[in-house]
Amino acid sequence: MAEKKGKYTTVSIPVTLYNRIKRLIEGTGFTSVSQYVTYVLREVVAEHEQASQEEPFTEEDKERIIEKLRKLGYI
């Protein structure tokens, strides 16, 4: 699917789920179902992204860094 342009787009969810969320957010700080869904999705997506972590440096970099940390007295 092509990327959507603009600030917002539409995603379909079952009406039953929509109503359930609407009831759930009553009296909370969430002002709309969209706001709640955005919040929850961001939380879930971030968790998935977190799981795919890789070391941001090579073994060679690491050795060099350890040497510097030793010189500075950190280890």
Partner 1 sequence: MVSRPHGGRLIYRVATGKRREALLEEAREVPRLDVGLERAIDLLDIAYGAFSPLEGFLVQEDYISVLEDMRLHDDTPWTIPIVLDVDPAEIADVSEGDDIALFYDGKPIALMRVEEIYGWDKKRHAQLVYKTVDVNHPGVAKTLARKELLIGGRIDLINEPPNPFEEVTLWPRETRVLFRERGWKTIAAFQTRNVPHRGHEFVQKAALTFTDGLLVHPLLGWKKKGDYKDEVIIEAYKALIANYFPKNVVVLAGLRMNMHYAGPREAVHHAIVRKNFGATHFIVGRDHAGVGDYYGPYEAWDLFNEFPDLGITPLFIREAFYCKKCGGMATEKTCPHPPEYRIKISGTRIREMLRRGEKPPEYMMRPEVAEVVLKYSNPFVE
Residues that bind partner 1 (CB under 8 A): 7, 29, 39-40, 42-43, 45-46, 49-50, 52-53, 56-57, 61-62, 65-66, 68-69, 72, 74-75
Closer residue to partner 1 (CB): 16 or 56: 56
DSSP track, 21-74 = HHHHTTTSS--SHHHHHHHHHHHHHHHHHHHT---SS-HHHHHHHHHHHHHHT-
Task: Give the C-alpha separation, 43 to 34, whole Å.
Answer: 14
CB of residue 26 vs partner 1: minimum separation in angstroms? 18
CB of residue 54 vs partner 1: minimum separation in angstroms? 9
Closer residue to partner 1 (CB): 18 or 57: 57
Task: Give the C-alpha separation, 69 to 74, whole Å.
Answer: 5
CB of residue 57 vs partner 1: minimum separation in angstroms? 5
